[in-house]
Structure 1
Amino acid sequence: MKTVLSVNLNKIALIRNSRGRDYPSVKAFGRRALQAGAGGVTIHPRPDQRHARYSDIADLSELVKEFADAELNIEGYPEEELIEQVLRYKPHQFTLVPDKPDQITSDHGWDLNQDGEFVTDIVRKVQAAGVRVSLFMDPDEAQIKLAQETGAKRIELYTEEYAHAYGAPQFDAIAAKYLACARYAVSLGLTVNAGHDLNLENLAPLVAEGTIAEVSIGHALTVEALEMGFDQVIQKYVEILS
C-alpha cells in the first residue's frame, strides 16, 4: 500500500501570523504541496489561533476541491468551536488530539480508559455528518483496541518516541513496537496514520511494510525546505546586489 503524504501547514501559518497579513499564504502553500504530489493537507488550529486559524479551514476546503483525491485533515482537541467548524466545512478527516490549549505541541495519545465515553460521543456525532474520524494514539495495543471500540475509522500513531530513537541502539526495538501496533490496528479493521517528528531521514523504515496509510508532516518538512533552498535564495539576493 502506498503511503499518502499530508502536509501540515501550521508552520506556514505561524510565519504568516508573525507579520499580520496573508504572506506567506497558507492556501497558496497548500496548493504548492498538492501540485508537488502530496495527497492532502493538514492544519491543527488551537483555540488561541496562534498559527492555523479557523478561517483557514474554509480556504483549504475550497482548495482540495481543485485536486482529484486530495484530502483535508483537521487536527485538534475536540472543543466546541472546532467541532462546529468541522461540521460546517466537512473535511475528509478530523483527527482528535488530546492536547491542552496551552501546549506548545501534542505530546501524548488519548487515554481511552479515562476519556472513552467523551471520545465515543464525538466520534459518533462527527462521523454521522460524513466526516471520517482518526484518533491520536500512543503505540499501545490495549489503547488501540479501545480506539476501535469508539467506532473511529482510523488511528494516528504518535511517533515522537520512534523519531527520537532513530540512530540510537534502541531504535530497532522501538520501530518493531510501532509496526506491531500498526499491524494489530489493521487486524481490528482500523486504518493507520502516523505523525510527529517524522522527517526525510527517519521516515522510510516506518512505511516500508505498507501498514501506514498516511503520514502528516509539517515542522520537519518546513525546516528541510529551508535547509534545501536557503543557500540558493541567498545567492539570488547576492546576484541582484552585485
Structure 2
Amino acid sequence: MTKLSVNINKIATLRNSRGGNVPNLLQVASDIQSFGADGITIHPRPDERHIRYQDAYDLKPIVTTEYNIEGNPIKKFTDLVLEIKPTQVTLVPDGDDVLTSNAGWDTVKHQSFLQEMVAEFKSAGIRTSIFIETDLKLIEAAAKTGVDRIELYTEDFAIAFEKGNKEAVKPYTEAAILANELGMGINAGHDLNLDNIEFFKNNIPNLAEVSIGHALISESIYLGIENVVNMYLHRLQ
C-alpha cells in the first residue's frame, strides 16, 4: 500500500495570516494522524512564510507516524534536520524567491554536492530522498548519490491529466521502473489530488509514498464545509 504523508504548510499559512495560534498546527498534525494518515510533511523556507523553524522542533514529539522534512539543504536547513532527525529528509532545489517547488534537481550538475548531503543525512540515520523530474539520465545520476529514494515531481502529469491526457503518466512509469532497478524507492508529489491520485498510483510500480498538501487541504474545505455550516445553523436555532 502506498503511504500518504500530509503536507501541513497550508495550515501554517492560514495560522500566520491572522497571528496567534488558530488553527493550531500541532493539533491539526495530531488529528491528521488519528484520521489514518501515514505521515506528516513540512517544508520550512528561509522566510518562514508558512512553516516556521520552531514548528519543526515542536512537531517532533507530535508526529508519531513518519516525519518528512523537505527543503533546500542550505546550512540552516541542514542543521535543523540533523538536530531533529526526522524519518525522512527530502532535498528540494528551491530558490528563496519561489512560491512553491517548481523544478527537480539536476543530479548530473549537482552530483558531488548531493553525494555530500546524502552521506551526511544518512550517517545520522535519516532516510534521504531527492526531488526530481523524469529524465532517465537524472534518475541514473540520482542513484550515484547514494540516495534512498527519489520523489517524482508530478506537476506536468497533473496538468496533462486534467486536460484528459492520460498518456502523460508514461514518463513517470518509466522513471519509476528504472529507479526500482537501481535500488531506489519511489515517492511522488506536487498537484496530486483526488481526481488523479488513483490513476497515478496504479501506473507507478512500487510507489512507496505520496506527499500531498495544497490539494488535500483545499478539498477538505469543500468536502467538510457543509458539516461546519450546519453545525453553526444548529447552534443558532
TM-score norm. by structure 2 comes to: 0.96
Decide which of 77, 84, 97 is 1:89's aligned counterpart: 84
Query: C-alpha separation between the residues in 1 aligned to 2:139 and 2:206?
Result: 15
- What residue is the counterpart of 2:50 in the other structure? 51
- What residue is the counterpart of 2:103 in the other structure? 108
Cα deviation code 1:163-205 (max 9, x no counterpart)? 1111435x23211211111111011000000000000110001
Letter in 2 for 1:10: N
Decide which of 166, 171, 177 is 1:177's aligned counterpart: 171
1:241 Cα deviation from its structure 2 partner: 3.0
Query: C-alpha separation between the residues in 2 aligned to 1:214 and 1:113?
Result: 25
Query: C-alpha separation between the residues in 2 aligned to 1:218 and 1:188?
Result: 29
- What residue is the counterpart of 1:208 in the other structure? 202
1:232 Cα deviation from its structure 2 partner: 2.2
Equivalences for residues 145-156 of structure 1 within 5 A:
145-156=140-151
- What residue is the counterpart of 1:9 in the other structure? 8
Query: C-alpha separation between the residues in 2 aligned to 1:174 and 1:168?
Result: 10
Query: C-alpha separation between the residues in 2 aligned to 1:239 and 1:204?
Result: 36
1:160 Cα deviation from its structure 2 partner: 0.2
Could you list the runs of 5+ residues in structure 2 that have no partner in the other structure? none
Cα deviation code 1:27-53 (max 9, x no counterpart)? 111111111111100000000000011
Query: C-alpha separation between the residues in 1 aligned to 2:189 and 2:126?
Result: 20
Question: Is 2:161–2:168's contact at 8 Å kept on the other side of the alignment?
Answer: no
Query: C-alpha separation between the residues in 2 aligned to 1:160 and 1:71?
Result: 24
TM-score norm. by structure 1 comes to: 0.94
Query: C-alpha separation between the residues in 2 aligned to 1:175 and 1:226?
Result: 28
Query: C-alpha separation between the residues in 1 aligned to 2:183 and 2:218?
Result: 35
Figure out how many residues of one structure are paired with residues of the other and give that number. 236
Query: C-alpha separation between the residues in 1 aligned to 2:183 and 2:159?
Result: 29
1:162 Cα deviation from its structure 2 partner: 0.7
Query: C-alpha separation between the residues in 1 aligned to 2:100 and 2:107?
Result: 20
Decide which of 174, 184, 188 is 2:182's aligned counterpart: 188
Letter in 2 for 1:12: I
Letter in 1 for 2:67: L
Could you list the runs of 5+ residues in structure 1 that have no partner in the other structure? none
- What residue is the counterpart of 1:22 in the other structure? 21
Could you list the structure 1 runs, at least 4 aligned residues long, displaced by more than 3 angstroms after superposition: none
Please say which of residues 15-24 and 136-145 is displaced more in the overlay.
15-24
Matched, 1:160 2:155: yes
Please say which of residues 92-101 and 203-212 is displaced more in the overlay.
203-212
**What percentage of residue pairs aligned between the two structures are identical?**
44
Query: C-alpha separation between the residues in 1 aligned to 2:217 and 2:52?
Result: 18
Query: C-alpha separation between the residues in 2 aligned to 1:151 and 1:214?
Result: 19
Cα deviation code 1:92-125 (max 9, x no counterpart)? 1000000101100001100122211111111111
Matched, 1:198 2:177: no
Letter in 2 for 1:173: E
